Structure 1
Amino acid sequence: MKNLKVIERKPFALSLNIQHFAGGNQRLIEIEKRKAEIRTALEGTESVDMDALETELRNLETEKNEIQQRERRAAIAKGINVGDIEGRQTSEFIPGDVPNEAQEARKSAEQRGKALKENRSVTVGSSNVIMPRHDASDIRPTFNEVSSLIDRVTHKPLLGGESYRQPYLKGYGTGDYTAEGANYTDADPVFDYAQINKSKITAYSEDSEEVLKLPDADYDGEVMKNISVATRKKITREILIGDGTTNHLTGIFSTAATAIVASTDLEISAIDDTTLDDIIYSYGGDEDVEDTAVLILNKKDLKAFAKLRDINGKKIYNVVSNGNTGTIDGVPFIINSACKAVSDTATTVGQYSMAYGPLSNYMLTIFSDLDVQRSTDYKFKQGMIAHRGSVFVGGNVVSKNGFLRVKKAAAV
């Protein structure tokens, strides 16, 4: 390749500055003039140093792009300051080249997008500024809705069973005098049995896939937990009020609880300073005062015990509460809302209000484990998730007069 002759360069060709580019049309005229010189040189007899020329053109283009980019950034920043441009446009800025407020605006926009996705946004005032509502990542529990009675009765696992019969002793015979050569006195023990049949308890709930996927809080976990709580909640009430019909538990207050003789029921019209003694000494056989019994009652009646005062204003009963359980003058109690409170005016005459006795005298048979399942097949098109739970259980009083039942009597 022959030696190339370098053409004479005009000073402005390599020294265009920001003022030249900022001049608008003047800048374009200068660029076009330089291009014309290059074309003339190539068409003539003079040789041109192409490497130097290419370097010059690249420098010129780079300088032009940098100036245009700075002008564009300055215009956007000015628009944000006067409120003409929304914060999301700051994504055009290069980190480190923009004010901190622009970066904060972009971060705020991302947070608003997340809030809108979860349907957790609010409009504040007339400025139409979307403010994200901050949601906790946990769910606060509600008050206890399940009496601990279900956990303290006797449990009998009989997985796969259909029914169960529990024998119990009704009483022993009594000997008597016998003359010489006469027949011995009959003194046979008397037995009976409690029939326990299978009952199916179920619970069902639905939630959307958004509840499962979007929120930070574990709503779906609470839905699953709800199945278990709902099942236990039903069973613990039925231990008292189950009517013993087909597919129902036999409760302590039911006439189907044949182990309890109805004539032993205690009737009271109000809670007074003798109520607890009446209950304690009315329960059990003729030879003993039972000391392992528990009083099952409504919270309203517990309050009535606690509020009783003597003529000097001193408490009659020492009530010590510990959530669902506690003691009244040392006698253990369990709260269960299935009891109709004696102290409640809405409770009618003859309704059962309390039960007193050893909790082991009630048997809860478990014919199957609690089975909780989740399915997306049902209402698949709507994106709904179904949860269901089922358990087979049975229950009945399994001791003769295992509990003293207290019912409301007419006011004296």
Structure 2
Amino acid sequence: MTRLQQIEARMLEIRGLLEGDGEVNLDELETELRTLETEKKDLGARERRKAVAAGITAGDIETRHVDTFVPEHTPDPAKEARKAAEERGKALKENRSVTVGSSSVILPKHQASDIRPTFNEVSGLIDMVTHKPLLGGESFQQPYLKGYGIGDNTAEGADYATAEPVFGYADINKSKVTAYAEDSEEVQKLPAADYDAEVMKGVTIASRKKITREILIGDGATNHLAGIFSTAANAIDAATDKTISAIDETTLDEIVFSFGGDEDVEDVAVLILNKKDLKAFVTLRTDEGERVYDVKTNGNTGTIDGVPYIINSACKAISDTAVAAGQYSMAYGPLSNYMLTIFSDVDVQRSTDFKFKQGMIAHRSSVFVGGNVISKNGFLRVKKG
């Protein structure tokens, strides 16, 4: 098939799409149609110049189209191409029709041009902790103050009382967090909905999901963050952990007044908990049937009697009977007491090389981060009793 025949076949196919009932991108098809018409004119002009050079008059050219210069007894390739294009256009117009039962009734299968989102799967905790960019680094050590000494009464001529501040250090080492996904070139090019963009977006979300969970439950081992609930968060004294067996009318007060030093009640702190425990706060009633707690919700965050909270599914709910005693369920403290170090930018790439023969497209995301608690007893940890 010549290039001119290919152009005419494609133009016929586009006109079928424009006249059909299926969802199409009008701007793209009309632009392509104009481009093909221009190319067709250019090819026609070249054929005319060749014909003149071969001794064919301009009048002959006007009365005979260049793509019909074939013997009468042979099939016309252009006509066959147009017929094939009509059949393809009809198939596209029916939009992958399906036969219903054993009858011959054909129903078109329509597809939406958008993809409906799912529920939020990433806790906002990842965005609320302290961020420290250290691009190109591998580790970081953050000093913190454990406490001050106390003076003493001293006799005349005796040594002064020792009262030195005590310091500690939080070690933060890099962790490589990755995500990988594949789709086919059909998924990228053919559907009306942009599945490929969702796959590309998904690898970034997958990395964020992992990091926001590691902030709580990372064990601090090689290539892991030191989570708030981990023994690797050595800024927290395990003796300060609180044990609660059930959520009742005193639970919030127990948490708030158990956090912090001996001289103050902290007022800028956030309660991190499971959604099931938030429900337990909401549904708790007095004997008169009134709510015990005033809970205001706003998606992933909100307040309980004015105390800010944030939901994270990595917490093991106290109210869940399937959770064993001793599991960490909540954390309470200023979110600035946890540092997330950013050792590299998020790198998101697409490649067709790995499975080029199969027409598969690979998507990957990677980021180097680290994290640890950076303040002495920066969080009150709550266990299930």
TM-score range, shorter chain: 0.7 to 0.9
Report the alpha carbon displacement of residue 342 of structure 1 after superposing the two structures with TM.
0.2
Q: Within 2, Cα distance between the matches of 1:288 and 1:133?
A: 66
1:373 is the counterpart of 2:352: no
1:113 is the counterpart of 2:92: yes
1:392 and 1:114, CA in 2 relative to 1: closer, same or farther beyond 3 A?
A: farther
Within the candidate set 311, 316, 340, 2:316 is matched to: 340
1:107 and 1:324, CA in 2 relative to 1: closer, same or farther beyond 3 A?
A: farther
Give the SS at the match of 1:238: helix
1:381 and 1:290, CA in 2 relative to 1: closer, same or farther beyond 3 A?
A: same
Equivalences for residues 319-338 of structure 1 within 5 A: 319-338=295-314
Q: Match for 1:138: what amino acid?
A: D
Within the candidate set 284, 293, 296, 2:260 is matched to: 284
Q: Match for 2:226: what amino acid?
A: T
Within the candidate set 184, 202, 206, 1:208 is matched to: 184
Aligned twin of 1:398: 374
1:237 is the counterpart of 2:216: no
Q: Within 1, Cα distance between the matches of 2:146 and 2:333?
A: 16
Gapped regions of structure 1 (runs ≥ 5): 1-90, 93-105
Does structure 2 retain, via aligned residues, the 8 Å contact 1:205–1:387?
yes
Aligned twin of 1:219: 195
1:252 is the counterpart of 2:208: no
Within the candidate set 136, 140, 144, 1:164 is matched to: 140
RMSD, aligned α-carbons: 1.7
Does structure 2 retain, via aligned residues, the 8 Å contact 1:112–1:132?
no
Report the alpha carbon displacement of residue 179 of structure 1 after superposing the two structures with TM.
1.5
Give the SS at the match of 1:183: coil
Give the SS at the match of 1:160: coil
Q: Match for 1:373: what amino acid?
A: Q
Q: TM-score, normalised by structure 2?
A: 0.76
Aligned twin of 1:386: 362
Q: Within 2, Cα distance between the matches of 1:331 and 1:122?
A: 57
How many residue pairs are counted as aligned between the two chains? 303
Within the candidate set 110, 119, 124, 1:143 is matched to: 119
Report the alpha carbon displacement of residue 183 of structure 1 after superposing the two structures with TM.
1.2
Q: Match for 2:302: what amino acid?
A: G
Aligned twin of 2:163: 187
Within the candidate set 291, 304, 308, 2:280 is matched to: 304
Within the candidate set 214, 239, 243, 1:267 is matched to: 243
Within the candidate set 327, 340, 361, 1:364 is matched to: 340
Q: Within 2, Cα distance between the matches of 1:221 and 1:111?
A: 29
1:301 and 1:130, CA in 2 relative to 1: closer, same or farther beyond 3 A?
A: same
Aligned twin of 1:133: 109
Report the alpha carbon displacement of residue 381 of structure 1 after superposing the two structures with TM.
1.1
Equivalences for residues 32-181 of structure 1 within 5 A: 110=89, 112-113=91-92, 120-181=96-157
Aligned twin of 2:45: none
Q: Within 2, Cα distance between the matches of 1:126 and 1:211?
A: 31
Gapped regions of structure 2 (runs ≥ 5): 1-81
1:108 and 1:406, CA in 2 relative to 1: closer, same or farther beyond 3 A?
A: farther
Aligned twin of 1:349: 325
Does structure 2 retain, via aligned residues, the 8 Å contact 1:325–1:332?
yes
Q: Match for 1:113: what amino acid?
A: L
Report the alpha carbon displacement of residue 211 of structure 1 after superposing the two structures with TM.
0.4
Q: Within 2, Cα distance between the matches of 1:114 and 1:285?
A: 72
Q: Match for 1:364: what amino acid?
A: L
Q: Within 2, Cα distance between the matches of 1:240 and 1:350?
A: 15
Report the alpha carbon displacement of residue 335 of structure 1 after superposing the two structures with TM.
0.3
Q: Deviations over 1:341-388 (max 9, x none)?
A: 000011101000000000000000000011011111111111100011
Aligned twin of 2:53: none
Report the alpha carbon displacement of residue 133 of structure 1 after superposing the two structures with TM.
1.6
Q: Match for 1:190: what amino acid?
A: V
Q: Deviations over 1:136-178 (max 9, x none)?
A: 1111100000000000000000000010000000001111111
In percent, how many aligned pairs have the same letter? Answer: 76
Aligned twin of 1:85: none
